Amino acid sequence: MRKSLVIMVVMAAMAAPAAAADSGFYLGAGFGLSSFDVGDFYDDYAPLNFEEGNPGFTVFGGYRIIKYLAVEVSYLDYGKVTMHEGLRGFNEALSVSIDQWGGSVLGVIPLSKKVGIFAKVGVASWNTSVYYTAGDDTLDLSDSGTDLTYGLGVDFIIKKIGIRVASDWLDVPDTSGVFMVSFNLTYNF
């Protein structure tokens, strides 16, 4: 595990945000589509293997240390999924929502003065809000933790405004993980 982490950090550092500026602060925000298997969060739903895509959003800010390396903090909300089952007045529902705060190192490969691809690796503090309701009873299965997060993307910079298309992965223990693809606008100071 440690060896894999070291290799990924080195790759991210070698790889980083677009080459429009050699260094400086940037901010961004965007919307995306997330995906996670709802059955991972409640054993009774595990056989369903029900992977749900739903809207989410992200907000991030960072500092491009050099042309090829940046550090970034971010907040990702992977959205909320609710599954319902009902039979003659008895309803069951499972509601799952996931969010994270994280910090990452980005490695950037400039393809031109306006386009760059990046890879990132970092650590995220995540929260899952999981509620199972059966009739009038509600069971709180919420959890939180700190785990690795990864990402890949492309930055297109036109003057100080940019467009970022990114994918983010979060390792949540005992699950198949959480994934989001997002479309973002950035501002480079």
**Domain assignments of the chain as residue spans, ordered by start:** 2-188
Q: What share of the chain is helix, strand, coil (3-state, %, to 5)?
A: 10, 70, 20
Confidence of residue 48 (pLDDT cuts 50, 70, 90): low
Q: How many helices (H) and strands (E) does the chain have?
A: 1, 9
Residues whose CB is less than 8 angstroms from the CB of residue 25 and which lie 6 or more positions away in sequence, other chains included: 61, 62, 63, 64, 188, 189
CB atoms within 10 A of CB 136: 6
Residue 113's identity, in one-letter code, is K
Cβ atoms of 128 and 140 within 8 Å: the answer is no
Lowest mean pLDDT among 8-22, 44-58, 95-109, 167-181: 8-22
For 156-176, write each residue's pLDDT tens digit.
998 899 999 999 999 888 788
Pick the CATH number of 2-188 from 2.40.160.20, 3.40.50.150, 2.40.110.10, 3.30.465.10: 2.40.160.20
11 to each of 4, 66, 68, how far by Cα in Å?
10, 16, 11
Distance, CA of 42 to CA of 132 (rounded, Å): 8
> What letter does residue 189 receive in the DSSP assignment?
-
Nearest to 29 by CA among 68, 69, 81, 72: 72
Interval 7-26 mean pLDDT? 52
Residues whose CB is less than 8 angstroms from the CB of residue 177 and which lie 6 or more positions away in sequence, other chains included: 36, 169, 170, 171
Pairing between β-strand 178-188 and β-strand 161-170 as defined by DSSP bridges: antiparallel
Distance, CA of 143 to CA of 158 (rounded, Å): 41
Q: Is the pLDDT of residue 7 over 80?
A: no
Distance, CA of 135 to CA of 128 (rounded, Å): 22
**Confidence at residue 154, expressed as pLDDT on a 0 to 100 scale:** 97
